[in-house]
Structure 1
Amino acid sequence: MTAPDAPLLSATDIRRLATELDLRPTKTLGQNFVIDPNTIRRITAASGTTAEEHVLEVGPGLGSLTLGLLDAAAAVTAVEIDPVPAGRLAQTASEFRPGAGDRLGVLLADAMHVSAAAIDSVRPARAPGPPTALVANLPYNVAVPVLLHLLAEVPSLRHGLVMVQEEVADRLAADPGSKVYGVPSAKAAWYAEVRKAGTIGKNVFWPAPKIQSGLVAFTRRNPPETTATRKQVFAVVDAAFAQRRKTLRAALAGWAGSPVAAETALRAAGVDPRARGEVLGIEAFARIAAARPERGTGA
């Protein structure tokens, strides 16, 4: 952990590093670098990270948030898909946080497919154990699948804070019955309690995005008790929202084999067949999955 008044990357620092690396931020990789130190302090504080924790960061870019996390945590493992900033990150950390080399691990990988074993392979020497917190500025175009993948793949993650497109933040944190409640909301709820933790303006980024960002906080919890697997429950969620304006009896007909079979499963699960998926919590989806007769095996 570093002194709280240690310098963070400024807009000048970010542009200097980008020039040095001949790095031009791309929409393909969702590269929007935070250039405001106060925003980094806000994110780090809101994440609830403690000095005893090992933090997993996705998409560190040029290292703005990485430095803030090194100030707050015992160690940081950063997963970066772009080899150019990934190759510079350790040097940036040593320049701004001398002596922090054994507290930072850098993994060149796609967070959409990264494994817990790969993350562990670059565990910093001073990390107290596997990562317990996820704090990241996630690329807008893959934010939901990356978050869900990491929650599934890295069970040591107990809590976290991610910055995403504000619309996505609203969806992830939505409760059943909300107009924006859907697949991301239900699937995230399988793993954790999720809430919106704030809004971030456009001008703290370079380049500035066209839309605001939202902060999403989560706290791990046990999934619903069910005899169905996660894969089976998520199949029900996908089917229910594929035709979200239809009743569940109709929307789940393909999943169950027929409208009659869907109604039978729904009634066995204590769910009104005339209801729509947008009013169900993850526990109800789990009951429906468990009530499907002769369902196939899944993981």
Structure 2
Amino acid sequence: MDERVGDVRLLGPADVRRLAEELGVRPTKKLGQNFVHDPNTVRRIVAGANLTADDVALEIGPGLGSLTLALLDACRAVVAVEIDPVLASRLERTAAEQAPGLAERLTVLPADGMRVTAADFPQPPTALVANLPYNVSVPVVLHLLAELPSLRHGLVMVQSEVADRLAARPGSKVYGVPSVKAAWYADVRRAGPVPRAVFWPIPNVDSALVSFVRRDAPSTVDREAVFSLVDAAFAQRRKTLRAALAGWAGSAALAERYLVAAGVDPSTRGEQLDVADFARIAQARTSG
């Protein structure tokens, strides 16, 4: 198997096991860790991310560096955010060993991806490319899209069911809160499955890639006002919006008033509305 991309020698299964043994690391379910050890998968992710020479890639949860190394060859700079201090402390040396001519492109931030803000980055990230910890993938994606307006596009690996929810369209059985909130920021699409065998340890769930391209917000209404409405609409998703939004609006009658003002049938359910519909309802409430 060719384990090189450009001037970088990628990590194969033996390298991943060697590094893990050196660091005394065992992947933990608590941190949602499953390390990719297949160079072909890493190349596929980087190719699918459509990076340019001007991109600054953001990677959350780089682990032992399998994806990090391939990213170094594909863009101007890579910022890797790693919550595990043991893994974070080894990453720069791994880059120097495997990609000596490109290691200076890497910046490692020992931090929690759920807590980083724009001020934490030496240069604004433009692309998110990551094998995300599965237990926090949705909140991490939404947090980063909110906190980092510089992120213009990305490709992330998540649990297959999460990929379906993020990319779902109105009317789908899995369309819900993550679908609508992600759509506020970007056009989100499923970008294909990932075999279980490319991970160590092999997970007991299926994985998939999700791509996104940033777009303008669908409305000038306050985002948090829209998101609180979305939460209310799906908290009782089997109810009509007139009933489901009674608490949010103050009464069922007020909910109906706002829905009608927004051009939405009060007997509709939340799963039938797109993000622009929710924005109009929130605007109707704001306008009184």
Distance (whole Å) between structure 2 residues aligned to residue 145 and residue 189 of structure 1: 14
Q: CA deviation at 1:4?
A: 2.9
- Is 2:251 aligned against 1:291? no
Which residue number in structure 2 is paired with residue 245 of structure 1?
Answer: 238
Q: Do the aligned partners of 2:73 and 2:102 also contact (CA within 8 Å) in 1?
A: no
Which residue number in structure 1 is paired with residue 247 of structure 2?
Answer: 254
Which residue number in structure 1 is paired with residue 225 of structure 2?
Answer: 232
Q: Do the aligned partners of 1:253 and 1:259 also contact (CA within 8 Å) in 2?
A: yes
Please, which of 199, 220, 224 is the counterpart of residue 205 of structure 1?
A: 199
- Is 2:156 aligned against 1:162? yes
Which residue number in structure 1 is paired with residue 104 of structure 2?
Answer: 102
Please, which of 64, 69, 72 is the counterpart of residue 66 of structure 2?
A: 64
Q: How does 1:121-270 map to 2 (within 5 A)?
A: 123=122, 129-226=123-220, 228-270=221-263
Query: For the structure 1 residues 219 and 293, does the alpha-carbon distance in structure 2 shift closer, same or farther, using more than 3 Å as the test?
Result: closer
Q: What is the letter of the counterpart of residue 227 of structure 2? A: F
Deviations 1:253-291 (A, max 9, x none): 000000000000000000000000000000000000011
Q: How does 1:6-25 map to 2 (within 5 A)?
A: 6-25=8-27
Q: CA deviation at 1:209?
A: 0.4
TM-score (norm 1): 0.93
Distance (whole Å) between structure 1 residues aligned to residue 93 and residue 101 of structure 2: 11
Gaps of 5+ in 1: 124-128
Distance (whole Å) between structure 2 residues aligned to residue 43 and residue 290 of structure 1: 39
SS in 1 for 2:29: coil
Q: CA deviation at 1:71?
A: 1.3
Q: Do the aligned partners of 1:90 and 1:106 also contact (CA within 8 Å) in 2?
A: yes
Q: Do the aligned partners of 2:72 and 2:103 also contact (CA within 8 Å) in 1?
A: no
Distance (whole Å) between structure 2 residues aligned to residue 3 and residue 197 of structure 1: 22
Distance (whole Å) between structure 2 residues aligned to residue 82 and residue 246 of structure 1: 43
Distance (whole Å) between structure 2 residues aligned to residue 56 and residue 168 of structure 1: 20
Q: CA deviation at 1:5?
A: 6.6
Q: What is the letter of the counterpart of residue 97 of structure 2? A: E
Distance (whole Å) between structure 1 residues aligned to residue 253 and residue 207 of structure 2: 44
Q: Do the aligned partners of 2:7 and 2:99 also contact (CA within 8 Å) in 1?
A: no
Which residue number in structure 1 is paired with residue 269 of structure 2?
Answer: 276
SS in 2 for 1:55: strand
Distance (whole Å) between structure 2 residues aligned to residue 93 and residue 6 of structure 1: 9
Which residue number in structure 2 is paired with residue 76 of structure 1?
Answer: 78
Gaps of 5+ in 2: none
Please, which of 31, 34, 37 is the counterpart of residue 32 of structure 1?
A: 34
Q: CA deviation at 1:293?
A: 5.1
Q: What is the letter of the counterpart of residue 188 of structure 2? A: V
Q: What is the letter of the counterpart of residue 40 of structure 1? A: V
Q: Do the aligned partners of 2:34 and 2:203 also contact (CA within 8 Å) in 1?
A: yes
Q: Do the aligned partners of 1:265 and 1:293 also contact (CA within 8 Å) in 2?
A: no
Distance (whole Å) between structure 2 residues aligned to residue 294 and residue 173 of structure 1: 31
SS in 2 for 1:72: coil
Which residue number in structure 2 is paired with residue 126 of structure 1?
Answer: none
TM-score (norm 2): 0.97
Dislocated runs of 4+, deviation >6 Å: none
Q: State the percentage of identical aligned residues.
A: 67
